[in-house]
């Protein structure tokens, strides 16, 4: 799903653990190679290695997302049993479990059916949210409409940085929707934990982008949240525009393009394979890139 592009505060996650397996878009090691054209470098060894690394990363990252999602579902189930009572300190036990289930977790909040934030952790980051109504936020509206779990694309945070949210609905025993629980987490921290060692000592680099081109992960943290390439570069690098359209519209594939090298000192030819990671209908493209030489 697509989240609001305006700056909002840390916020919001959501359904049943039985749905989790089908909610994950990809399974470990399942990498298709739907190519835009045949690889042109002739380096079969490099291509095989790139695909091996990409497939392993895909499996590791999706497994990690699935584990985090499972904890969010269990938290929603616990809150369903005890009720979303803002005055009940017992709510903080499942919220604490969810917040610290993964090092990438930033905040977790419980939201009532009217959109009001009832409780949140850690207190230092969510105290300004308590009592605020988030009912006009896209991710909240979507969950209340569909009554199903979701994961958002990255959202800029008021205190700086970016996060995605996993939301799960909270129901009463009579299956009445009473609110939601939301976890904000940093996708780049999850991806980077696997990507950095995977390409260490190799000529490859890893990126992860949304289908709209916004960067989820890059070796340069300053690029996170920016566009893969700016509109001003279209004329100078027409191949990269074609490449971006191709990965946006295809679950996996291969492409080549000319662009600046890592130091932006020269223009080089690059080749890339990509596949998809994500869940709950949100697709992120995981890309492995190799420089193949200077352009003519």
- Average pLDDT of the chain, as a whole number: 83
Tell me the mean pLDDT in the region 2-12.
39
Q: Where does the pLDDT of residue 157 fall: very low under 50, low under 70, confident under 90, or very high at 90 and above?
A: confident
pTM of the model as a whole: 0.83
- pLDDT tens for residues 70-88? 999 999 999 998 888 766 6
* pLDDT of the residue at 267: 84
Tell me the mean pLDDT in the region 2-9.
39
* pLDDT of the residue at 273: 97
Beta-carbon count within 10 A of 263 CB: 6
Q: What is the largest CA-CA distance in the chain?
A: 68
- Give yes or no for a contact between 296 and 277, defined as CB atoms under 8 angstroms apart: no
* pLDDT of the residue at 6: 37
The CATH number for 24-62+188-294, chosen from 3.40.50.720, 3.30.530.20, 3.30.450.20, 3.40.1390.20, is 3.30.450.20
- pLDDT tens for residues 10-62? 333 333 333 333 444 333 334 444 444 555 545 889 999 999 999 999 999 99
* pLDDT of the residue at 295: 62
Tell me the mean pLDDT in the region 119-138.
92
β partners of residue 277: 284
Percent of the chain, pLDDT > 90? 58
Exposed, middle or buried: residue 18 (CB in 10 Å: 0-12, 13-18, 19+)? exposed
Percent of the chain, pLDDT > 70? 79
Listed residue (154, 156, 153, 159) closest to 283, CA to CA: 153
Cα–Cα distance, 84 to 92 (Å, whole number):
11
- Give yes or no for a contact between 54 and 30, defined as CB atoms under 8 angstroms apart: no
Residue 103 has pLDDT above 70, yes or no: yes
Task: Report which of residues 163 and 16 the model is more confident about.
Answer: 163
Tell me the mean pLDDT in the region 188-203.
97
Q: Report the alpha-carbon angle 223-224-226, nearest 5.
A: 70
Structure tokens at 214: 């916004």
Cα–Cα distance, 78 to 84 (Å, whole number):
10
Residue-range domain boundaries for the chain:
24-62+188-294, 66-186
* pLDDT of the residue at 259: 79
Tell me the mean pLDDT in the region 132-142.
94
* pLDDT of the residue at 90: 65
* pLDDT of the residue at 241: 82
What's domain 66-186's architecture?
Answer: 2-Layer Sandwich (3.30)
- pLDDT tens for residues 252-272? 999 998 877 765 568 888 999
Listed residue (144, 112, 103, 104) closest to 131, CA to CA: 112
Same fold? 24-62+188-294, 66-186:
yes
CA distances from 224 to 180, 214, 236, 270, 286 (A): 28, 8, 23, 21, 14
Question: Which residues, 6 or more positions from 8, have their beta carbon under 8 angstroms from its beta carbon?
Answer: 137, 155, 156, 157, 158
């Amino acid at each position: 799903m697509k989240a609001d592009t305006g700056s909002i505060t840390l916020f919001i996650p959501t359904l049943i653990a039985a749905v989790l397996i089908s909610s994950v878009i990809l399974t470990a090691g399942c990498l298709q190679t739907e190519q835009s054209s045949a690889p042109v470098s002739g380096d079969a060894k490099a291509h095989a290695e790139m695909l091996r690394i990409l497939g392993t990363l895909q499996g590791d990252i999706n497994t990690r997302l699935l584990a985090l999602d499972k904890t969010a579902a269990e938290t929603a189930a616990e809150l369903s049993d005890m009720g979303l009572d803002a005055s009940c300190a017992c709510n903080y036990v499942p919220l604490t479990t969810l917040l610290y289930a993964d090092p990438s977790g930033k905040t977790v909040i419980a939201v009532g059916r009217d959109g009001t934030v009832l409780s949140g952790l850690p207190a230092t980051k969510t105290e300004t949210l308590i009592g605020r109504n988030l009912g006009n936020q896209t991710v909240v509206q979507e969950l209340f409409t569909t009554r199903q779990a979701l994961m958002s694309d990255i959202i800029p945070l008021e205190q700086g940085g970016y996060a995605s949210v996993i939301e799960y609905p909270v129901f009463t025993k009579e299956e009445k929707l009473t609110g939601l629980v939301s976890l904000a987490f940093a996708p780049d921290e999850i991806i980077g934990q696997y990507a950095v060692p995977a390409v260490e000592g190799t000529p490859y680099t890893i990126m992860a982008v949304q289908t709209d081109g916004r960067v989820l992960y890059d070796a340069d943290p300053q690029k996170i949240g920016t566009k893969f390439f700016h509109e001003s570069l279209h004329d100078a690098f027409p191949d990269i525009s074609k490449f971006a359209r191709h990965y946006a519209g295809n679950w996996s594939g291969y492409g080549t393009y000319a662009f600046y090298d890592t130091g932006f000192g020269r223009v080089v030819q690059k080749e890339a394979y990509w596949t998809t990671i994500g869940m709950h209908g949100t697709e992120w493209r995981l890309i492995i890139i190799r420089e193949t030489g200077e352009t003519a």
